[in-house]
Amino acid sequence: MSGPPRAAESHRARRRFLAAWLATLGDVLRDRGVLLVLLAAPLVYGFFYPWPYSSQAVTRVPVALVDQDGSSLSRQIARFAAASPRLQLVLVTPDERQARQLLWRGQIEGYALLPADLKRHVLRGDPVVVPVAGNGAYALLNKAVLSGFGEAVGTVSAGIEIRTLQAHGMAPGQAAAARSPLNLQAVALFNPTEGYGSYVVPAVALLILQQTLLMGAAMLVGGWAEAHRLRATPAAWLGRVAGLSCIGLASGAFYFGWVFFLQDYPRGGNPAAAALLLLVYVPAV
């Protein structure tokens, strides 16, 4: 005897669900504020947020070189630093205080210190430390400073070691192999360009989806409360959630399917997993 009433109740629940779903989409389209937050904001963010990071890699960072040695070796290091695509050598000075003042004023992003008697210690075979100071407030600029000076000093150091081995009777090929018997090639699997945009934008995209969907839903629920439409059956609330989720899924598909492709960000090539992530992530918001 309970079959027909249960079937009728199930039918009414489905109708309430569908009606609430369509009504939610209609409310979003009629409310300009909600429409801007849920639809316009993700589009605007998708175009303009990646734009400042379009260059990806940091190049030509202004730096200084403090040369307290004044030797041919220190001048060679200066030439290699000036030739580095990471660095823009704007000053060579024997005064470390001058370079430090420029760093504090933001006119350079770092400097390297070539200590006095650098060449003499190198010729004697003594270990020499070349300090590098950088602006730690900006990780990418600091990385460029450290890498640029490290490559310049490392290249000069390798040349000195190879010439020393050749002086002991080794052939050029043997000296190069003895100096570096095992070469390391670092490959960034999930960020081949090692760019900042590829690193930050995909992660921030999920935050943009969460924030816009959360704010839009809060504005929509506030409007329902003002209109005394907040109370509804569980089926109707599921319909409302489904309506908002459709908009969130569309925004997610826009980011995962178009923005990442247009900006050439690394993609896993697994659309099924991305769709599954959005199906769980969007309703949870």
Q: What is the predicted pLDDT for the residue at 4?
A: 65
* Residues carrying CATH 3.40.1710.10, the chain: 61-179
Sequential DSSP letters for the chain: --HHHHHHHHHHHHHHHHHHHHHHHHHHHH-HHHHIIIIIHHHHHHHHSSGGGTT-S---EEEEEEESS-SHHHHHHHHHHHH-TTEEEEEEES-HHHHHHHHHTTS-SEEEEE-TTHHHHHHHT------EEE-TTSHHHHHHHHHHHHHHHHHHHHHHHHHHHHHTT--HHHHHHHH-SS------SS-TT--HHHHHHHHHHHHHHHHHHHHHHHHHHHHHHHTT-----HHHHHHHHHHHHHHHHHHHHHIIIIIHHHTT----S-HHHHHHHHHHHHHH-
Q: What is the dihedral of CA 174, 176, 179, 181, to 10 degrees?
A: -80
Q: What is the dihedral of CA 182, 187, 188, 189, to 10 degrees?
A: -120
Q: Dump pLDDT digits (tens) for 177-196.
A: 777 777 778 777 777 777 77
Q: What is the predicted pLDDT for the residue at 1?
A: 45
For the full predicted model, state whether its pTM sits above 0.85.
no
Q: What is the predicted pLDDT for the residue at 151?
A: 93
Q: Dump pLDDT digits (tens) for 22-79.
A: 999 999 999 999 999 999 999 999 888 888 777 767 889 999 999 999 999 999 999 9
The span from the CA of 165 to the CA of 144, in Å, is 31
Q: Which architecture characterizes domain 61-179 according to CATH?
A: 3-Layer(aba) Sandwich (3.40)
Q: What is the predicted pLDDT for the residue at 254?
A: 92
Q: What is the predicted pLDDT for the residue at 202?
A: 87
In this structure, what token pair is assigned to residue 183? 């070469």
Which residues in the chain come in under a pLDDT of 70?
1-5, 56
